[in-house]
Amino acid sequence: MTHLRLAIRVVGAAVFVLCAASSFAQYGHPLTGSWSGDWGPTKTNRNRVLLDLDWDGKAITGRINPGPDAIVIQKATLDVATWTVRLESEAKDKAGQSVRYVIEGKLENIGVPNRVISGTWTQGGVKGDFRVVRN
């Protein structure tokens, strides 16, 4: 009877470890996923934002506000020593004017699913702070 109990405990522990490992693996690269939040030059002047980021094994790619007017991220860098990320892009606004985007932030709470990126958001001539949470 003791061998049976030991076998059941070993199998139960193995199932637990495999389930925990597979649920952790689903999150992938720390930047991969959909991030939502806001940015703005003041506490009262805020703009909703959605970032859709992906890691293909070599580079970070993504879009700002995915949809018909999405802005493709043209350059993305991540410093894993400090977990800081920089996203850059240039796109035309509705009036046809070129607008440069520079988003610099620090990745926080890396070990949890709803991690955060916060920092500085520059859009054209307007600079402010931002905070996005992974959905």
Q: What one-letter code names the amino acid at 44?
A: T
Please check whether residues 18 and 64 belong to one and the same domain.
Answer: no
Please check whether residues 13 and 47 belong to one and the same domain.
Answer: no
Q: How many domains is the chain built from?
A: 2
Tens digit of pLDDT at every position of the chain (135 positions) = 565 565 456 544 444 444 433 334 445 788 999 999 999 999 999 999 999 999 888 899 999 999 888 999 999 999 999 999 999 999 998 899 999 999 999 999 988 888 999 999 999 999 999 999 999
Using CA atoms in the order 63, 40, 30, 73, what is the torsion angle rounded to 10 degrees?
A: 20
Please check whether residues 125 and 72 belong to one and the same domain.
Answer: yes
Within 13-125, strands assigned E span 33-40, 47-55, 60-64, 71-72, 75-79, 84-92, 98-108, 116-123
Domain CATH number, residue 124: 2.40.128
Class of residue 20 by CB neighbours under 10 A (exposed 0-12, middle 13-18, buried 19+): exposed
Sign of torsion over alpha carbons 67, 70, 75, 81: negative
Please check whether residues 24 and 37 belong to one and the same domain.
Answer: no
Model pLDDT, residue 1: 54
Give residue 86's domain range.
Answer: 31-134
Please check whether residues 18 and 71 belong to one and the same domain.
Answer: no
Model pLDDT, residue 94: 86
Nearest one of 28, 86, 84 to 57, comparing CA atoms: 28
Please check whether residues 56 and 38 belong to one and the same domain.
Answer: yes
User: By the 8 A CB rule, do 63 and 87 touch?
Assistant: no
Please check whether residues 70 and 89 belong to one and the same domain.
Answer: yes
